[in-house]
Structure 1
Amino acid sequence: MSVEAAAPLPGLADPVRDAQRAFRAALEALSRPGRVHAVGAPIAGLALGPALSHLLLALADEDTPVWWQQPDAALQQWLRFHTGARVAASPREAAFAVVRDAQRLAALDGFTAGSLASPEGSCTLIVELPSLAGGPVLQAHGPGIRERQAIAPAGLPERFWAQWQANHAAFPQGVDVFFTCGDQVMGLPRTTRISRLEGV
């Protein structure tokens, strides 16, 4: 059976309540950087982590093109069916980027950073990691953090944190990031500065 003819994969069990819960988790994750928040339960038959899938269903719509690091016609059709979100041809055109192989994450300056007049027009990356703990220990500083917050996401390439410092320095422009693993999400807004405690 072709992808076009196949029945779409299921979405949220309770579309309104589950989307509201995921949206609140996303807001909390960005307003309290570095803290881990639970998002939602797995969606049966879907080859995406629960947090990643719930965030996409809650945040994407027909006005937010999504770039997929690993294109998958079935998943792209699934998201378009449930949200109306179309596929972005490149990171520069994306409002959201789905990254499922963090080691091959493209350079952050390759994603749209918005403009000085409209910084909200930047891309938000949703990056799936093997774990939100157990990586090199870092300290996060900035709005939403009382003094500092220790974070240790695992599975990011060494170059990421140097790119992040440049992204932070470009404020108010820059990208925001959600790290997900299973049903958990951690937010890293562009306002957050990172200092290293252990080599990355």
Structure 2
Amino acid sequence: MSRSLWGALGAVVFALVVAVGAVVVTRAASAPGDASDASPAVSSKSSTPAGNSADAGFARDMAAHHQQAVEMSFVVRDRTKDTDVRRLAYDIANTQANQRGMLLGWLDLWGLPKISPPDAPQMAWMGHTGHEGAPEPKEDGLMPGMATRAELAALGAANGRQAEIQYLRLMTTHHRGGVAMSQGCAKLCTVPAERALAQGMVDAQQSELDLMADLLKERGARP
């Protein structure tokens, strides 16, 4: 396994440990007992993130963003026998499925819906705060980095090296959008564990971007 991928996995593991610890503490604080030990981030109604907060918006949007990455990774796994690409796809699918579970778990813990209202502005949790790194919504209504139905269909129809290149290109775009979103949460979210998880996503996905650039170069292709 490459040094960059080890670094990515290490950053994700650290963020996951921090996030899991925060959820455990929060659940313990919500149980009957001494309120003085409660976590100030999410232990009371007054400190629970609001439905239109960056914390809630990031959790909803990144959960959906991760779901597509997991789906694409499973598709390419069955379309190539290349060890490096299959390992990368497995790592992305496994990591992002676990992170998605955490994000949805937080929304449950906060008593907030997992899906934004249909009439809600896309990425409002970033754009409405004036965050300079807020990515521009795509014209087709998809979040930044998300693949279109046509792109997903093309990936599903490809095999071998063609499938590898398509996957690496789609995932490169996907990661770039995910990094921008995660950087936004790392600055705007108020729950410490969620900020830590977001920063872990930034570190891991940036490292994977480097790895995917190398894999594309090996195949004579550009991102």
TM-score category of the 2 structures, normalised to the smaller one: under 0.3
Q: TM-score, normalised by structure 1?
A: 0.27
Rg larger in 1 or in 2?
2
Q: TM-score, normalised by structure 2?
A: 0.25
Higher strand share: 1
